[in-house]
Amino acid sequence: MLGYIPALPFLGFLVLSLGGRVLPRSAAAVIGVGTVVVAALLTMVVGIRWLQVPPVPGEYNLLLWNWFTTGDLSVAFRLRVDALTLVFVFIITFVGALIHIYSTAYMKHDRDHARFFACMNLFVGAMLLLVMADNLVLLYLGWEGVGLCSYLLIGFWYEMPANCSAANKAFLVTRIGDTAMLIGLFLLYRQLGTFDIQTILQRSPHQFLRGANDITLIAFLLLAGGMGKSAQIPLQTWLPDAMAGPSPVSALIHAATMVTAGVYLIARMHVLFLLSPQAMAATALIGGITLFVAGCSAMVQTDIKRVLAYSTISQIGYMFLALGLGAWGAAIFHFFTHAFFKALLFLAAGAVIESLHHEQDIFRMGGLRRRLPLVFYTFLAGAAALAALPFVSAGFYSKDPILWYAYSARGGSVFLYLLSLAGAGLTAFYSTRLVVVVFGGEQRTPVTEKPGKVMTIALVILAVLAVTAGFIEWPRGLFSRFLEGVLPAPVLKDGLPSEGLFQLIAVAVTLLGIYSGYVLYRRRQEVLLRWRQSARIRAVRLFFLNGWGFDALYRTLFVRPFLFISGINKPDWLDWLNKGVVRASLTLSSLLSVSQNGSLRWYIAGVLIGVLFIITLQFFL
Amino acid sequence: MTPIGANTVLVVAAALFVLGLAAALTRKNIIFILIAVEVMLNASGLAFVAAGAKWHQPDGQVMFLFILAMAAAEISVGLALVLQIYHQHKTLDVEDLKELSD
Amino acid sequence: MAITRYHPVHALLYLVISFLAMAMIFLSLGAPFVAVLEVIIYAGAIIVLFIFVVMMLNLGKDTAQQESAWLRPRVWLIPALLSLVLFGEMATLLIAGAEDEMQIAVVDPKRLSMSLYGGYIIAVELIGFLLMAGIVGAAHIGKHPKKHLHRFLEEKEMGEHEINI
């Protein structure tokens, strides 16, 4: 039964891509949504069975077929589900199903209805393959598959050139990460002679010395792959532009699932990372820096989806931070809750955008609290989770441990702790800003249509989860205990103050962030006006708005030289050879056509000369 | 009669042929070109008959017969064409009939 | 001579002489049947065809004038050169071979006909095809476009047109 879970979305993809044009809209929607919903139900069945009777080896293993065998290498299509995979599969199918249901309403009027669901199904299938893969080749297949689907879906409305360039950018930037990862995989194979994940994890401690150069290189390369897919610094520039795709796409791919592929990879290969303290430190540092930088950028964005995009980058930074500190379970738990509330936020943002007839500037929205009450409450639940509102939101239960581990874990430090604390404050601030500006105040754009029942049901379910999902961890450790067979617990420093103190500090910072956001944007808006006068603040704001100048940096470093070099070769000198051949044959032809002048006597003379030539040869041969 | 070798006759045939060829190259009027072609055909026929006489075989004469028949057919068609050309272009000058040129 | 005359009829007459001489050569080579055939068909039918065409197209003085204007000695230079080269090569090849005496034996017409209807029967059939094709082709090509009006009426029409100018 396990095999059906990824197979169904692939089947849906095939049916919709081949026959999508001839199917009526409702049939395409049913197929597209149905496959993922059934996969979600199957996952729940598998999960319930797991909880009732946990399998003895800690996993379900299913060999589908032998993919290829060359020489010593044998790669099989083998699915392996352990606790970690089960968490991911659950999120992918369940949140995916909700988003698909939402999309039937969102994409109702779109011309390319079937193509959308085909691509989404392909994505779900590829992502499931990625997390259920038993060997690295299959994982890489899923990895590439999700990259492809991301490209297809970002550029879904391909008639706008801006969307196409955003899709290209996403694909190219993640490609850099993918290439690094591939090199890492090759190095791993060279050292260990197998692609099988479990074998690798078991053999690596014996094969590599802790902190040796080769394992560090491999770990860094895998980290680079994760950084590309999960949009961490310095490969994060593609995610804000990827918001050009439809909102369900942003929800599914760029909030809940694809961008967490990097998190999955690192968590899965945690043994390799544990063998290389440098890689762990780098991961934590990257995560920490990313969350701070993205948080600053999210503060000043005006497009609602860009705020959420930077917020996603920031939250994944938290996950990377946790991974780098060895707090694997905390990272996965944060992924778990983040999927719910981020998807919720994106879907609600989509509902808002649709209701205001494609208005995405938050400063042109406002006063929607009374007009769209259900959307308001669900968005509020999501934003509260994002800001990690204490006790009532899932985000609190997942972010708080990370803050604790930032100080207390073996790799933790005051710097990382302060960084993550500042990030938490920023998160609270911009979440509040978003809610206040979009839903409070006076209405600036009229509401053209209210979201339908289908959309609101999805939003409500996600909102409930955003609030309650955290309670799994509340009696500390249900979630971590679920994962403990797979992921080890973090190693803490000695002589630590009590955790409660840190929790208190975190709560205080969060509340401070919320309060300042509320005050600034609701009550004391004149402060904002005063700030807008100051040139220095405006410069800082512009800096944050442009994502700390990464785009401009890359443009100068890479894009301009590349265009320059390719411009040099524009009168392609190799092409000159081809053109030369053409020119030579044309010249020759015009020369020879003189002889075809229609004069009979010329022709006879030609024959005669030929005969003479042949006979003359007689004398010399 | 002084005995002559077959090669001599062939040289005569060659001379005739070359004369016809020179005329074909030089003349502008179609009629004259056709006359020159006749001369050439005649010369080749002579060569065949000479070869056949050398070996006392009738094959040379048979070949000459075929050449004769072919020349007859060719002349009839060629002269019909000449008539048409004259009707349409009012000239028999080969230099003016260059419509097949590039 | 046949090739250098200006007047077409002169050229044709010289051509007739050439054919008759050829017939004599054939006779001396021991091929009486071919000699007679040459006179009858070549000098008889083909030259007659030529004469017909020349008469129909009324090629007389004008052609002679054209040709005399065109055929300066300079024109003969290059063709003569090329032809002489060819002749030289052919002669060289021929003379280089051994010069045997030729025994002249008359080949009977009977032998000729046995060979024709024996081994060469297929070629004879093909020649029949060829001649048929020649007839049909010449008949088709030589057709005049049909006149729809009687020629008297045509002239009258043209006369009326002239008056209206």
CA distance readout (Å), A158 to A44, A112, A245, C149: 36, 11, 10, 72
Cβ pair B62, B51 in contact under 8 A = no
Rounded Cα gap, residues A496 and C137, in angstroms? 116
Q: Which among C56, C70, C102 has the least Cβ separation from residue B54?
A: C102
CA distance readout (Å), A439 to A371, A510, A567: 9, 21, 49
pLDDT band for position B41 (cuts 50, 70, 90) = very high
Rounded Cα gap, residues B50 and B44, in angstroms? 10
pLDDT band for position A601 (cuts 50, 70, 90) = confident
Residue B19 touches chain C, beta carbons under 8 Å: yes
Range of the domain at B15: 7-89
Cβ pair A114, A94 in contact under 8 A = no
pLDDT band for position A24 (cuts 50, 70, 90) = confident
A233-242 pLDDT, tens digit per residue, is: 888 888 888 8
Q: Which among A612, A618, A619 has the least Cβ separation from residue C86?
A: A612
Q: Is the pLDDT of residue A152 over 80?
A: yes
> Rounded to a whole number, what is the distance in Å from the CA of C129 to chain B's nearest CA?
10
Q: What number is the average pLDDT over the span A207-217?
A: 81
Q: Is the pLDDT of residue C160 over 60?
A: no
Rounded Cα gap, residues A518 and B92, in angstroms? 106
C101/B5 Cβ within 8 A: yes
In the prediction, which pLDDT does B99 show? 66
The helix/strand/coil state of A361 is strand
A175-186 pLDDT, tens digit per residue, is: 888 999 999 999
Beta-ladder partners of A214: none
C89/A608 Cβ within 8 A: no
A600/B101 Cβ within 8 A: no
Cβ pair A135, A67 in contact under 8 A = no
Question: If we measure between CA atoms, which residue out of A198, A204, A43, A31 comes closest to residue A118?
Answer: A31
List, in sequence order, the alpha helices (H) in A58-112: 83-106
A285: its two tokens: 């540092």
C89/A605 Cβ within 8 A: no
Count how many domains chain B has: 1
| Contact list, A611 vs chain C (CB under 8 Å) | 86
Beta-ladder partners of A78: A63
Q: ∠ at Cα B17 (B14, B19), nearest 5°? A: 110
Q: Which among C15, C97, C134 has the least Cβ separation from residue B35?
A: C15
CA A311 to chain centre: 13
B100/A598 Cβ within 8 A: yes
Q: Which among C79, C83, C89 has the least Cβ separation from residue A615?
A: C89
% of chain A at pLDDT higher than 90: 2
Q: ∠ at Cα A404 (A402, A409), nearest 5°? A: 90
Residue A590 touches chain B, beta carbons under 8 Å: no
Q: ∠ at Cα B50 (B46, B51), nearest 5°? A: 120
More reliable by pLDDT, B66 or A463: B66
A112: its two tokens: 């390319």
Question: If we measure between CA atoms, which residue out of A127, A148, A153 comes closest to residue A138?
Answer: A127
DSSP state, B29? B
Residue A612 touches chain B, beta carbons under 8 Å: no
In the prediction, which pLDDT does A179 show? 92
The helix/strand/coil state of C134 is helix
Question: If we measure between CA atoms, which residue out of A17, A9, A66 comes closest to residue A36?
Answer: A9
CA distance readout (Å), A501 to A367, A403, A504: 39, 12, 5
Q: Which of C77, C85, C95 to mutate to probe the A interface, most A CBs <10 Å?
A: C85
Instruction: Identify residues of C whose CB sits under 8 angstroms from chain A CBs.
Output: 78-79, 82-83, 85-86, 89-90, 92-93
Chains that touch C (3 or more CB pairs under 8 A): A, B
Cβ pair C15, C3 in contact under 8 A = no
φ, ψ at A210 (rounded to 5°): -65, 125
Rounded Cα gap, residues A452 and A84, in angstroms? 35
What is chain A's length?
A: 621
CATH of the domain at B19: 1.10.287.3510
B56/C107 Cβ within 8 A: yes
In the prediction, which pLDDT does B71 show? 92
Q: Is the pLDDT of residue C161 over 50?
A: no
% of chain B at pLDDT higher than 90: 18
> Rounded to a whole number, what is the distance in Å from the CA of A583 to chain B's nearest CA?
19
A297: its two tokens: 């950028």
pTM of the model as a whole: 0.68
> Rounded to a whole number, what is the distance in Å from the CA of C86 to chain A's nearest CA?
6
Q: Which residues contact A231 (CB under 8 A, 6 or more apart)?
A: A238, A239, A259, A312, A313, A316
In the prediction, which pLDDT does C162 show? 45
> Rounded to a whole number, what is the distance in Å from the CA of A607 to chain B's nearest CA?
11
Rounded Cα gap, residues B52 and B71, in angstroms? 20
Burial class (CB in 10 A: 0-12, 13-18, 19+), C85: middle
Q: Is residue B1 part of a domain?
A: no
Q: Is residue B2 part of a domain?
A: no
Rounded Cα gap, residues B37 and C61, in angstroms? 23
Cβ pair A424, A513 in contact under 8 A = yes
Sole residue written with tokens 């930074």 = A317
In the prediction, which pLDDT does C86 show? 77
A235: its two tokens: 């490969």
Q: Is residue B94 part of a domain?
A: no
Rounded Cα gap, residues A65 and A52, in angstroms? 29
A448: its two tokens: 């053209």
Pick the residue from chain B with its C-alpha nearest to A602: B25
A515-565 pLDDT, tens digit per residue, is: 888 888 777 777 777 777 777 777 777 777 777 777 778 878 888 888 888
Rounded Cα gap, residues B49 and A13, in angstroms? 85
Q: Is residue B57 part of a domain?
A: yes
pLDDT band for position C165 (cuts 50, 70, 90) = very low
Residue A568 touches chain C, beta carbons under 8 Å: no
| Contact list, A612 vs chain C (CB under 8 Å) | 82, 85-86, 89
Q: Is residue B101 part of a domain?
A: no
